[in-house]
Structure 1
Amino acid sequence: MDQPTEAELPPADHGNWHIRPHSTWAFQHVREIVPVADIANDAARAAPFPTGLAGLDLAELQQLTRTDALVVMHKGRVVHEFYDGGMTAHTPHILMSATKSVVGLVAGTLHGAGLLDVDSPLSDTVPELARTAFEGATVRHLLDMRTGVVMDPQALEAYRAATGWDPLPPGAPPPDLRRFFETTTATHEPHGGPFRYTSANTDLLGLVMERVAGQPFATIASERLWAPMGAEDPAYITVDARGAARCTGGLCATARDLARVGWMVLQQGHAADGRVVVPAGWIDDTWHGGDAEAWRQGEFAAGFAGMAMRYRSGWYVVDDAPGMLFAMGIHGQHLFVDPRSELVIAKLSSQNQPIDAIATARTLRAVGAIRRALA
């Protein structure tokens, strides 16, 4: 008997939206499934990048890694652009954990404005965190995934419920992220140790930023990053039952605007019109800060064996020549920034598995191949 096509399947819903084949549609229509907050752009500042296609043959990569959108920029020009699965140049797609890298840049704008002290204890800003697993941790620990917080199954279940990404049992009151952080039963080891990937860290960072700025995260992101950067389209981010943003993975944006983020980083925090969006000192610290030993002792080092790396302010830093920053999210979301080659690659996907080592390796090899082809 023939298998149903994706068009013949029941529609994506709250229970299946991040499972393929529903995810191909759902990753482009997240606002129709879970609550979101809009991140406005400024159409007057948007300036489309010039296009000069370079004849790159990326069909195999696109097919084998279930690519929904791929934008390659070289020396300020779009040299390759591809869309599939209903995507267009103006369709927002969820970034999953590549969101963390964008949130790290928003943090940099607040730090540059003197509002966010990255070395201060979290409880100085959010006193409710005293006597929780996050007591004693700093903003820098959140940014670099170096809190010692350990999520046991009970804490993980409570955290997932608080994000609003999954359906709750009938009649259950909706939990939220603020309540989770104030009452978490997670334990912790000393903060500042090895890299430990804890998604809750970046959600908490979002709440800290809201507290210091006195605004919702979506407003902060719009006014301090998205609009001044010259985004071509608005973005949006998923929110919990009380409106707190899912800063660890809920940002939805177009591939072109994700590439703009990368180009701004490559330009030391400057937008295409020359204005400073993210302080150059923050970009420089992202490139050169971080602790290589914390990475080597951390839980991701084995998965990137043979690569000299660090993690800083939500970005993966590759020290091997020619050097590169990248953002990464489950199901195949990537942003690569290579300043020596003046290369930016934004890739949005709906891969079957949340973590697919083969697809990730294939994508990393493709970055090298693209770099060589454009040299």
Structure 2
Amino acid sequence: MSIDLSPTSADLSNWRTAPFSRWAFHNIRAILPAADIESAPGSAWPLPASPVAFEDFGVRLPKGGTLDLDGFLKATATDGLLILQDGRIVFEHYDGGTDRDTPHILMSATKSITGLMVGILAGRGEIDIDAEVTRYVPEVAATAYRGATIRQLIDMRAGIVFDGAGLQAYADASGWEPAAPGTTPNLHDFFATMRAQSAPHGGAFSYVSSNTDLLGWAIERATGRSFASLVSTLLWKPMGASGEAFITLDRKGAPRCTGGFCATLRDFARLGQLVLSGGRRGSHAIIPEAWLDDIRHNGDVQAWRDGQWRDSFAAISRNMHYRSGWYVTNDAPQLMFAMGIHGQNLFVDAANGIVIAKLSSWAQPVDGQAIWLTHQAVAEFARSLKATA
């Protein structure tokens, strides 16, 4: 008996494992249900090109040796890399079947988009970030989420503690794994019946992906509109996104606001440029500038230092915080970034006017060496651009 290991044989049982993942990550619609997020190709944010060769690019390895640009791209299983400086494309690269028009899954970089949506809605008076989530989703009043605020959800400071069975139940509900015959596990039912333990809310940083999926439910309840339509109307179209975009859905149609956003590399970069531009496209304010300033400056550094990932990120920075779905390193130059498993990243270096969008297909969900290499490369791109100025 032979087993088909061709990438195009990816399905719900294997789509996040190599070798199937590299094809699956840019063919999500073949595997998962999704809701369209409309773009605005007729009014796309222009991205003029000013190519830079990066001939002197080099990332020094801890044990000796240096990776040139091509070596870095291969070592970090890069599907797409786009670098903007002052709003112009200085480098653009595709591999693994991804191209300019291909929507690729952003994984947990989706959390950063959800965080921006909360900021937009809060600015419009449509959601109260200091309200308890039960105001919008009373179904969770008897669960560990009781007493948690919207702010604590987006900052990963809700006191939710899952055991192995709880994590599996959440995974089953997401729709990203096969369901047992005759069952339709889904996110809303999961939240209403979850049995996670509760720790005090507002404590140390604790990364719990379900927080952002619950936030998606709260957003839809607060507004009476689908998450996909809100993103399209309030963010994606005004920003001038031009390509195909969508978000995966569970078996009952709830959006995967923690990890299911799929977009083209150029539109991912446009999002970074919008953040760098203070939430404005020209004279049009899209994201409240105060919300972005809050992300950059008001995260709780002590909550990060007391949290679960302090040691994991120590080689990158010991001076970090997490705010509204975004990571911020407070070393000079301050770096604001979105991050998803298997190597999805969006970096915003406001001091140098640089945006870097990277899509990847790492074999492992979390690859410490690839994370370190990527951050080293971000610094090296900034150095190289200064040298060519």
Matched, 1:168 2:179: yes
Matched, 1:257 2:267: yes
Other-structure match for 1:370: 381
In structure 1, C-alpha distance between the alignment counterparts of 2:370 and 2:45, rounded to whole Å = 33
Aligned-partner residue type, residue 287 of structure 2: V
Matched, 1:194 2:198: no
Other-structure match for 2:26: 28
1:323/1:5 CA distance change after superposition, 3 Å = farther
Other-structure match for 1:134: 145
Matched, 1:280 2:278: no
In structure 2, C-alpha distance between the alignment counterparts of 1:343 and 1:263, rounded to whole Å = 8
TM-score relative to the length of structure 2: 0.93
TM-score relative to the length of structure 1: 0.96
Query: Please, which runs of 5 or more residues in structure 1 have no aligned partner?
Result: none
Other-structure match for 1:13: 11
Does structure 1 retain, via aligned residues, the 8 Å contact 2:44–2:240? yes
Aligned-partner residue type, residue 22 of structure 2: T
Alpha-carbon offset, residue 5 of structure 1: 11
Query: Following superposition of structure 1 onto structure 2, how do residues 91-240 of structure 1 map, counting pairs within 5 Å?
Result: 91-171=102-182, 173-240=183-250
Aligned-partner residue type, residue 230 of structure 1: G
Aligned-partner residue type, residue 40 of structure 1: E
The number of aligned residues is: 370
Show CA shifts across 1:127-152 (max 9, x none).
Answer: 11112110000000000000000011
In structure 2, C-alpha distance between the alignment counterparts of 1:160 and 1:56, rounded to whole Å = 42
- Hey, which bits of structure 1, 4+ residues long, moved more than 3 A? none
Indicate the SS of the match to 2:311.
helix
Alpha-carbon offset, residue 10 of structure 1: 5.9
Does structure 1 retain, via aligned residues, the 8 Å contact 2:45–2:239? no
Other-structure match for 1:353: 364
The range that moved more, 300-309 or 275-284, is 300-309
Q: Percent identity?
A: 49
Aligned-partner residue type, residue 156 of structure 2: M
1:50/1:134 CA distance change after superposition, 3 Å = same
Indicate the SS of the match to 1:204.
helix
In structure 1, C-alpha distance between the alignment counterparts of 2:40 and 2:272, rounded to whole Å = 18
In structure 1, C-alpha distance between the alignment counterparts of 2:45 and 2:362, rounded to whole Å = 31
Aligned-partner residue type, residue 150 of structure 2: V
Query: Please, which runs of 5 or more residues in structure 2 have no aligned partner?
Result: 56-68
Other-structure match for 1:85: 96
Aligned-partner residue type, residue 268 of structure 1: G
Other-structure match for 1:248: 258
Other-structure match for 1:270: 280
1:354/1:125 CA distance change after superposition, 3 Å = same
Aligned-partner residue type, residue 277 of structure 2: Q
Aligned-partner residue type, residue 304 of structure 2: W
Alpha-carbon offset, residue 234 of structure 1: 2.8
Does structure 1 retain, via aligned residues, the 8 Å contact 2:102–2:244? no
In structure 1, C-alpha distance between the alignment counterparts of 2:8 and 2:109, rounded to whole Å = 29
Indicate the SS of the match to 1:304.
coil
Alpha-carbon offset, residue 61 of structure 1: 1.1
Does structure 1 retain, via aligned residues, the 8 Å contact 2:320–2:330? yes
